[in-house]
Amino acid sequence: MDGEATDFFAATFSIEEEDHTLANSLRFFLNKNPHVSFCGYSMPHPSEELVNLRVQTTGQVTAMQAVKAACEDLQQVCGHMRSTLTSAVAKYQQDEQAREQQTR
Amino acid sequence: MVFELTNTDVSSANALRRVMIAEVPTIAIDLVEMENNTTVLNDEFLAHRLGLIPLTSDEATNWKRPFEWSSDHDMIETSFSLDVTCTVDGVMDVTSNDLIPMYPEHRVQPANYNTPEEKPIVICKLRRGQQLKLVARARKGIGKDHAKFIPVATAVFQFKPRIVLSHSAMADMTDDEKQAFVHSDPSKTFKFNPITRMVRLRRDGDWHPDPGAG
């Protein structure tokens, strides 16, 4: 993105070295943002690792801020998933050990 | 272990699935130095097979990938040696148990290494007089680089449906109709209780797709 375009309310972000894994998740979190009026992504060609993310806002936030917020939300969700998984696995292993001791 | 993901969206589940397949780092044999190969399989064929052998990759997070910036203290590779000569009459198997780690302290070894209950992976078969001698170097990689680095056999996710039975509809049905309804499902999700004359879910809402479908 050009330097002076950070205060636009509609922008297309060209993200290199990324694919549907990141783009679809970002699109989901952007759609959850009430200030975003339109959000979509496309891959110009599947052999090329390039994603074009289009964001249009209502004017209350800039497109840059909306994408930044979506990235932070995604980070939080991933962190939450990780901690939930770690605690669930630890609990499962504890229950297994308790069950083994009971059957002995 | 079965994992259930709730209160999230398809895109998160799909992203998780994609990352599990393509971007979780593992360790696999990447470079093979042949010293002697008198087997019926050619060098690159054997190198390809060696690459596909799964190696224990708990150390993968501490390693660096081949073209990633690394200092002298970072782990980037380990080596295995293989030296098998067939001296008996008949066919001899060269298996993953014959891959000897040259640095056991790296804690990288083939999966189910020397486990008596599990069958090892056959690399090739030898006849009397044939020999295979090589050194294999294992490196860190991700599924995007090469399919041998994919840590999962497959990763799928499935929507778990919420089945709610209508009691008013059940009251209007006869027992035979209820039994016909239960029998019509090949996956046997429902069960008919003749005492209460009610249809209920068989296993607390578990649903599996038809084995013949899809």
More confident residue, A8 or B2: A8
Asked if residue B29 has pLDDT above 60, the reply is: yes
What does the block give as tokens for A80? 């939450």
Of A63-67, A97-101, B58-62, B71-75, minimum mean pLDDT range: B71-75
Residue B8 to residue A21, Cβ atoms within 8 A: no
Query: Using CA atoms, how far apart are residues B26 and B59, in angstroms rounded to an integer?
Result: 8
pLDDT of residue A76: 92
Q: What is the mean pLDDT of residues B84-96?
A: 92
> For residues B150 and B57, is the Cβ–Cβ distance under 8 A?
no
Q: Does a structural domain hold residue A68? A: yes
Q: Which of A19, A37, A44, A36 is nearest to A70 (CA)?
A: A36
pLDDT band at B86 (very low <50, low <70, confident <90, very high): very high
Q: Does a structural domain hold residue A3? A: no
- Which secondary structure element, helix H or strand E, spans residue B183, and what is its range? helix B175-183
> For residues B201 and B162, is the Cβ–Cβ distance under 8 A?
no
Q: Does a structural domain hold residue A71? A: yes
Interface size between A and B, measured as CB pairs under 8 A? 28
Chain A residues touching residue B9 (CB < 8 angstroms) = 28
Residue B14 to residue A28, Cβ atoms within 8 A: no
- Which secondary structure element, helix H or strand E, spans residue A25, and what is its range? helix A20-32
What's the pLDDT tens digit per position in B137-173?
999 988 888 989 998 888 887 777 777 777 777 777 7
Query: What pTM value is reported for the model?
Result: 0.75
Residue B12 to residue A25, Cβ atoms within 8 A: yes
Of A18-27, A47-56, B29-38, B58-67, minimum mean pLDDT range: B58-67
| Candidate ranges A10-14, A45-49, B59-63, B79-83; pick with highest mean pLDDT | B79-83
Q: Does a structural domain hold residue A39? A: yes
CATH number for the domain that contains residue A89 = 3.30.1360.10
Residue B11 to residue A25, Cβ atoms within 8 A: yes
Chain B residues touching residue A85 (CB < 8 angstroms) = 3
How many domains in chain A?
1
Q: Does residue A88 sit in helix, strand or coil?
A: helix
Please name each of the domains of chain B with its CATH number: 1-24+144-160 (no CATH), 26-141 (2.170.120.12), 167-208 (no CATH)
More confident residue, B196 or B38: B38
User: Looking at this predicted complex, what is its ipTM?
Assistant: 0.78
User: Kind of pairing, strands A50-57 and B131-141?
Assistant: unpaired
Q: What is the mean pLDDT of residues A50-68?
A: 90
Look at the alpha carbons of B186, B190, B191, B195 in this order and tell me if their dihedral is positive or negative. negative
Cβ contacts of B87 within 8 Å, gap of 6 or more: B128
pLDDT of residue B4: 77
pLDDT of residue A1: 46
Q: Which of A41, A33, A85 is nearest to A60 (CA)?
A: A33
Range of the domain at A87: 10-99
Q: What is the mean pLDDT of residues B32-58?
A: 93
- Which secondary structure element, helix H or strand E, spans residue B171, and what is its range? helix B167-172
